[in-house]
Amino acid sequence: MSDRERMGRVVLVTGAAQGIGEAVARAFVKRGDLVAAVDKNAAGLDRLLAELNGEGHQAAAFQTDISDREAVDAVVEQIERDLGPIEVLVNVAALLRLGAVESLCDEDWAETFAVNVSGVFYVSRAVIRRMVPRKSGSIVTVGSNAASVPRMHMAAYASSKAAVTMFTKCMGLENAQHGIRCNVVSPGSTETEMQRSMWSDANGAEAVIAGSLESFKLGIPLRKLATPSDIAEAVLFLASDRASHITMHDLRVDGGATLGN
């Protein structure tokens, strides 16, 4: 079945109120899909929904904390009931807590894993339980190139992204027999509020592109940061029929920052 024939799919996007999640939501509605935008940020969801509906696109907003299992189960049930069968899930929601290991507090570690790992697990489990009887579906998890390369003061975030990368691959292996594909898109430094929160001055972008010997961080060979739409296009591809024979794949979108590793 071609992409055009499959337009109008129900696509659940977490973290849809801002950054990469918003770009992903916009990319899917522009191809004619119905997006269920999930986020904890109610104001951001209201803004997004008003803009998308005002442009004539199909979208619905669901304020949900994905670290709350009961809330996740309820919202997935609501989406399936009100919008239809979820054919695509994109796990984008995540948070960043910076700090050296010796100073990282318990709360920052726990919150990072509650959203970045348990949240992905809760949403994926709720959705895949419904995809299995239908023998079809696509799940894309937005990870990070930090999952494969150690980063200073990012132990919690990098570890959480390594966890969801392997979780998604295991989920893909288990469910290949059901025709369900599970893939990962791993961005590098991207123009988002999360990225800007790590900058110490107005030259933050230039410093990221150049890299740093002091922090053991490689620069970006393509000499530019990614945009949220760059990541969204990779997600769109992996969720499409053009990627019908791709599963358990980790697609790096980092301008070459991890040198293809």
Q: Which residues are the active-site residues? A: 157
Q: Are 24 and 38 in contact (CB under 8 A)?
A: no
By the 8 A CB rule, do 62 and 123 touch?
no
Three-class SS state of 81: helix
The position carrying tokens 């979108």 is 253
Quote the CA–CA distance of 163 and 47 in Å, as a whole number.
32
Q: Helix, strand, or coil here: 52?
A: helix
Cβ(25)–Cβ(13) below 8 Å: yes
**Measured distance CA(243)–CA(70) in Å, rounded:** 33
Q: Would you say the C-alpha torsion 166, 117, 30, 83 has a positive or negative sign?
A: positive
Taking the CA atoms of the chain, what radius of gyration do you get in angstroms?
Answer: 18
Give the SS3 label for residue 182. Answer: strand
Unique residue bearing structure tokens 């996007």: 13
